[in-house]
Amino acid sequence: MSAPKTIPKDAQVMIQILKDMGVTEYEPRVINQMLEFTYRYVTTIIEDAKIYASHAKKSAVDADDIKLAIQCRMDQSFTSPPPRDFLLEAARQKNQTPLPLIKPYTGPRLPPDRYCLTAPNYRLKSIQKKVSSSAGRISVPRLSVGAVSSRPTTPTLGTPSVQSVSSKVGTPVSLTGQRFTVQIPPPSQTATTKTTTAASPAVSNVLINPSLIGSKNILITTNMVAQNAGGDGLKRKLEDDDDYDAL
Amino acid sequence: MAAVQGSIVDAKDEADIKTEPATDGFGNNHANDAGVLSASPSSTAPAGNNKPAAGAPEDQQTLLAVLQFLRKNKLSESAEILRREAGLPEEALDPKGADSAGSGLGSGADIDGGDASALLSRVTVSAPGGAKAPTKAGEDQPDVNVVLSAYSQQGDPALYEVYYSGLKKFIESVLDCHRAELSQVFYPLFVHMYLELVYNNHEGEAKAFFEKFSGDQECYYEEDLRILSSLTKKEHMRGNETLLDFRTSKFVLRISRDSYQLLKRHLQERQNNQIWNIIQEHLYIDIFDGMPRSKSQIDAMSGSLAGEAKREANKAKVYYGLLKEPEIELPLDDEDEEAENEEGKPKKKKPKKDSTGSKSKKQDPNAPSQTRIPLPELKDSDKLDKIMYMKESTKRIRLGPDNLPSICFYTFLNAYQGLTAVDVTDDSSLIAGGFADSTVRVWSVTPKKLRKVKTASDLNLIDKESDDVLERIMDDKTASESKCLYGHSGPVYGISFSADRNYLLSCSEDGTVRLWSLLTFTCLVGYKGHNYPVWDTQFSPYGYYFISGGHDRVARLWATDHHQPLRIFAGHLADVTCTRFHPNANYVATGSSDRTIRLWDVLTGNCVRIFTGHKGPIHALAFSPNGKFLASGATDGRVLLWDIGHGLMIGELKGHTECIYSLRFSRDGEILGSGSMDNTVRLWDATKAFDDLETDDFTAATGHIHLQDNSQELLLGTYLTKSTPVVHLHFTRRNLLLAAGAYNP
């Protein structure tokens, strides 16, 4: 330990407290951490107490205010586990029900979907502008995409899209993880563009019909990691799709 | 009755009225005073009724005390009425010695649970201005003193010290054989007296009391005493659940009848009612007939937060046998094996004296029935796994004192003390680590890489009828050595692979237990139930069920397809730090910070065994493969061996110097490996440790255990690592020992 005069008094007190509580080995940063915590806690309590004192129209903060402030903070931030008798009672109730029988042949045994984390955690924005000029390319499967905002300069396509069958919000689990690159033919351009630059982040709500894919052998890869619905389009490198068919 | 507490005590009084005259007095006076406070003359009528003989000196004293109290509080009318009705002479009464026996509040009422709050309410409502007169220690007015002190904020803590010293002197003067047993009383008495003082706001006296007597306590209570020393005000106790539980639960002591008679006689003849009250209220004395125990025997068993275990706590029948393995048709090239295993029992199940090793189809009386708890049926993949398992078991090396296993150590580098949990699959193909940065990482131990399942559209394209469909569903593009799983929001404290290697469980400080799929390497479910850090989790040996234990002092049994727990195992006084399934999946063992291990029945949720003896929080548990024994390791560096059937400690392995974090039996139960913070792995001879004790004549009645001090003989080897604490041990199917830890220079 360095000479006392280089350590501030608060830190010395903290070192003493740690020693009293039996903590003999600790990293040096622990003292800073504890001091920070102490400072924050004490100021929070005192500020709360000031509010309580002024609420009670007292001129000065007194011990009761502090006590009240501490109590409120304890109930809020520093909760403790439930008391023993409550736990015993809860356990008694829970343990009365017999163990449920296990149904055979049910595949992965998971709770109902509401309680699982397997659903997609995003939702898609609805159509802003419909794609009118795609009439000539009706063979293009219609895709629903997230907000697309690809900058005109980049040859990339931001299509954080996912297909949704019949615009249901809950897409089946199996579709997660699929990747599609989509070329959305912009309304004003001709067909043979490999990359598209959407003039506006207009999104066309398109439905993919998987049955259409088969023969065309369109390899569609999309970026699946759209967390926010309507999040900005993610710039992605366009994959080299040899099988890519001009749409 | 106006006051609630008065009414509670009143009810108790009517019940206890004839049985305990001494304590009854308090209750009466409580009732009286409460009644008087509401100034109803009818309340004095019970006072009159409760005087068995008008002239009895104790009751006289009681009434005098009440009268005096009323006068103090200037309730002159009520005082007059009382005096008139009770026929008390008009005289000035000196304040009797105020026995600051706050414990008199208990008045022999054994209110378990809720006692603390009742106590608290009594204390806060108690009227001020009690007699402050100093001690009349040996005075024969216990009722009065206690009554008065019940209503006095300032008791006389000098009395506490006097009583305690008196008891100390007495115990030091008894015969040697009794002294050890009676000394057990010191610690709980000390703690309760100290807490009484703190509750009654006698800070200075509490501190003096503590300083004077804390040094006398046993060394293994040092940690608790330190926590106690920081508790100086009543408010400090409010949030401390462990301490409140300590106050409300009874500290169990096992004392032989002779010693107990001695103590009782002494306390009653000296009318030391205060200590007697504390003993009656807070201690549970489990009396047994027989020889008093020696100091070493007592030391071996004590140390837990709630004393020892009552004998009847360990009397329930436990089905510790193993479940019968199902019949599996082995493929043709294993015909010779099949001949030996007519009922499909794997060959390995022939440990020493295992009653299920016989080839008969009789049900092992110690084994639970197959349907006792519902278990998932075996799928085809499970059957294939079992066949692999049996094949591997044939190649297993037989271990023994002269044939020690090789140890392969997996060191986690660059973890910076962040490695908090490790698990290895049963076939040792995957190893997973949980880290303090809330990630879980899975590595492949074999050269085979980890691959994800293909996406749904790709899965549509593969040929489902081909033989290697299980290979084809994997997407080779995603192959990598390790996969990282993100999802938790706090350090991951426990991991467990499922038996079929499809799932991984992880539990963390954020209070959730997460189920991950090892096919897609994504999180499937988050089980929320504990709202506090979860310290350990484990899948059952058959899959489907899993347990978790955490800071909220309970362990929970879950099934993967229920979002809420199926069973709650409540009973520990402090955090549950370690949870393990028994090999037959019918029982769960939990180790806790209250230094006890409890064995719970999955079917009913009841605690069937309590094992005390450790002197520190328990961090490692291991069941022997034959299901009969349990090994436990704690921060005190000792490994204790327990016989589950009888509920007794049968061995103690000393050697480690720091906390033991991992324990594992070899596949046939011959060797026990232990890994600890002192950077060593130690191997112990398990067969020898259990050998002498296969006999059935334990003196379970008295709980006398005779531990041999043979740790040195049982130690087969100590293997040091290079500043790497050993966090996990795993015996492969062929009895190679894998160990894991994070390099910590």
Q: Is the pTM value of this prediction over 0.80?
A: no
Residue B367 DSSP label: S
* Burial per residue of B14-30, b for 16 or more beta-carbon CB atoms within 10 angstroms, e otherwise: eebeeeeebbbbbbbbb
Query: Would you call B524 and A110 a contact, using CB atoms and an 8 Å cutoff?
Result: yes
B603 touches chain A (CB under 8 A): yes
* Secondary structure of residue A164 in the 3-state scheme: coil
Q: Which of B561, B569, B593 is the best residue to mutate to test the A interface, defined by the most A CB atoms within 10 Å of its own CB?
A: B561
Q: Which helix (H) or strand (E) holds B534?
A: strand B534-539
Chain A neighbors of B561, CB-CB under 8 A: 106, 109-111
As a whole number of angstroms, the distance between CA B144 and CA B627 comes to: 57
Residue B91 CA: distances (Å) to CA of A135, B67, B73: 114, 10, 17
Give the residue from A94, A105, A165, A243 with the most B CB atoms within 10 Å of its CB, the best one to mutate: A94
Supply B483's token pair.
């996969």
Q: Chain B within 8 Å of A54 (Cβ-Cβ)? A: no
What's the pLDDT at B135?
35
> Which residue in chain B is spatially nearest to A177 when comparing CA positions?
B455
| A-B Cβ pairs (cutoff 8 Å, strict) | 129
Mark yes or no for CB contact B455/A210 under 8 Å.
no
Among the partner residues B374, B524, B562, nearest to A101 by beta-carbon distance:
B374
What residue of B is the nearest CA neighbor of A101? B374
Is B576 touching A (CB cutoff 8 A)? no
- Chain B residue at shortest CA distance from A94: B567
CATH class of the domain defined by B155-293: mainly alpha
Q: Which chain B residues in 491-530 lie under 8 Å from chain A, judged by CB atoms? A: 502, 515, 517, 520, 522-526
* CB distance B370 to B363 below 8 Å: no
Listed residue (B95, B111, B126) closest to B30, CA to CA: B126
How far apart, in whole angstroms, are the C-alpha atoms of residue B106 and residue B280?
A: 9
Q: What are the beta bridge partners of residue B423?
A: B432
What residues of B are in contact with residue A24 (Cβ under 8 Å)? Answer: none
Residue B105 CB burial class (10 angstroms; 0-12, 13-18, ≥19)? buried
Find the closest chain A residue to B478 by CA distance: A177
Interface test with B, best of A45, A102, A118 (most B CBs within 10 A): A102
Query: Of B347, B366, B365, which Cα lies nearest the Cα of B357?
Result: B347
* CA angle (A95, A98, A100) in 5-degree steps: 120
Residues of A in contact with B517 (CB under 8 A): 108
Length of chain A: 247
What Å distances lie between residue A54 and A49, A57, B201, CA to CA? Answer: 9, 5, 29
**Max alpha carbon distance in chain A (Å)?**
84
- Tell me which residue has tokens 């879950």: B558
φ/ψ of A66, rounded to 5, equals -60, -40
Transcribe A56-118 into DSSP letters.
Answer: TT-SS--HHHHHHHHHHHHHHTS--PPPHHHHHHHHHHHHHSPPPPPPSS-SS----GGGBS-
User: Distance between CA B256 and CA B254 in Å, rounded?
Assistant: 7
DSSP secondary structure of B296-334:
HHHHHH--STTBS--GGGG-S----SPPPPPP-PPPGGG
Chain A residues within an 8 Å CB radius of B532: 81
Matching residue, tokens 């020696």: B294
**What confidence score (pLDDT) does residue A181 get?**
44
* Separation in Å, CA of B525 to nearest CA in chain A: 4
Tell me how far apart the alpha carbons of residues B301 and B309 are, in angstroms, rounded to a whole number: 9
Q: Give the tokens for residue B505.
A: 């469980």
For position B415, what pLDDT does the model report? 85
Give residue-wise pLDDT tens across range A24-74.
889 999 999 999 999 999 999 999 999 999 999 999 999 999 999 998 998
B379 SS3 class: coil
What is the identity of the amino acid at B214?
Answer: S
Residue keyed to tokens 């330190």: B226
Q: What is the pLDDT of residues A161-196, one digit of tens each?
A: 444 333 344 344 444 434 444 444 444 444 444 444
Residue B314 near residue B609 (C-beta atoms within 8 A): yes
> Where do the domains of chain A lie?
9-96
Give A78 to chain B, closest Cα distance, Å. 8
- Indicate the residue type of B203: E
Cβ separation of A111 and B563 shorter than 8 Å? yes
What ipTM was reported for this prediction?
0.70
Do the beta carbons of residue B217 and residue B186 sit within 8 Å?
yes
Asked if the C-beta of A225 comes within 8 angstroms of chain B's C-beta atoms, the answer is: no
- Chain A neighbors of B570, CB-CB under 8 A: 84, 87-88, 90-91
Residues of chain A contacting B526 with CB distance shorter than 8 Å: 117
Q: Which two tokens stand for residue B437?
A: 């940065």
- Ranges A95-109, A147-161, A229-243, most confident: A95-109
What architecture is the B490-742 domain classified under in CATH? Answer: 7 Propeller (2.130)
Query: Of the candidates B43, B725, B75, which has an alpha carbon nearest to the alpha carbon of residue B418?
Result: B725
Kindly list the distances between the CA atom of residue B483 and the CA atoms of B188, B442, B594, in Å, as whole numbers in the listed order: 51, 5, 37
Residues near B711 by Cβ (< 8 Å), separated by ≥ 6? B652, B653, B654, B655
Out of B238, B245, B568, the one facing A84 most closely (by C-beta) is B245
Cα–Cα distance list, B31 to B106, B349, B673 (Å): 13, 66, 62
Strands B482-486 and B430-435: unpaired
Predicted confidence at residue B354, as pLDDT, reads 35
A112 contacts on B by Cβ (under 8 Å):
563
Contact B375, B326 (CB under 8 A): no
For the beta carbon of residue B581, count every other beta carbon within 10 angstroms.
23
Give me chain A's average pLDDT, please.
67
Largest pairwise CA distance in chain B: 107
Q: Where are the alpha helices (DSSP H) in B314-467?
A: 335-340, 380-394, 456-461
Residue B258 has φ and ψ, to the nearest 5°, of: -60, -50
Asked whether the CA dihedral B559, B560, B564, B569 is positive or negative, the reply is positive
CA B557 to chain centre: 17
Q: Please provide the CATH number assigned to the domain covering A9-96.
A: 1.10.20.10
Q: Do B374 and A87 touch (CB under 8 A)?
A: no
Q: For chain B, what is the total number of helices (H) and then of strands (E)? A: 23, 31
DSSP string, B688-730: HHHHTT-SS---TTTT-------HHHHEEEEEE-SS----EEE
A178 CB neighbours in chain B (<8 A) are 455-457
Cα B335 from chain centroid (whole Å): 48
Judge whether B255 and B182 are in contact, CB under 8 Å: yes
Query: Of the candidates A67, A104, A117, which has its C-beta nearest B377's C-beta?
Result: A104
* Residues on chain B touching A80 (C-beta within 8 angstroms): 239-241
Report d(CA A53, CA A59) in Å as an integer. Answer: 7
Chain B residue with CA closest to A87: the answer is: B570
Partner-chain contact B554 A22, CB within 8 Å: no
Q: Which of the pair, B148 or A78, is modelled with greater confidence?
A: A78
Query: Which among A70, A118, A178 has the least Cβ separation from residue B455?
Result: A178
Q: Taking a contact as any Cβ pair under 8 Å apart, which residues of chain B between 210 and 269 contact chain A?
A: 223, 226, 229-230, 235, 238-241, 244-245, 248-249
Q: In the prediction, which pLDDT does B299 show? A: 83
**Cross-chain residue pair A102–B532, CB shorter than 8 Å:** no
CB < 8 Å to A111, chain B = 525, 560-563
Left if phi > 0, otherwise alpha if psi is -120 to 50, otherwise beta: which for B384?
alpha
For position B84, what pLDDT does the model report?
83
Res. A233: pLDDT tops 70: no
Enumerate residues 101 to 160 of chain A having a beta carbon within 8 A of any beta carbon in chain B. 101-102, 104, 106, 108-112, 115-118
Report domain extents, chain B. 155-293, 490-742
Token pair of B188, please? 């709980």
Residue type, B526: G
Q: Measuring CA to CA, which residue among B234, B200, B197, B248 is closest to residue A71? A: B234
Report DSSP state, residue B378: P
At residue B512, the 3 state secondary structure works out as: strand
Closest CA–CA distance from residue A152 to any residue of chain B (Å) = 31
Residue ranges in chain B whose pLDDT is less than 50:
1-55, 92-155, 332-360, 695-696
Q: b/e for B649-688, b at 16 or more Cβ within 10 A?
A: bbbbbebbeebbbbbbbbbbbbbbbbbbbbbbbbbbbbbb
Q: In chain B, which residue's Cα lies nearest the Cα of A21?
A: B226
Q: For chain A, what percent of residues have pLDDT higher than 70?
A: 50
Residues of B in contact with A115 (CB under 8 A): 525, 563
| Cα–Cα distance, B414 to B418 (Å, whole number) | 9
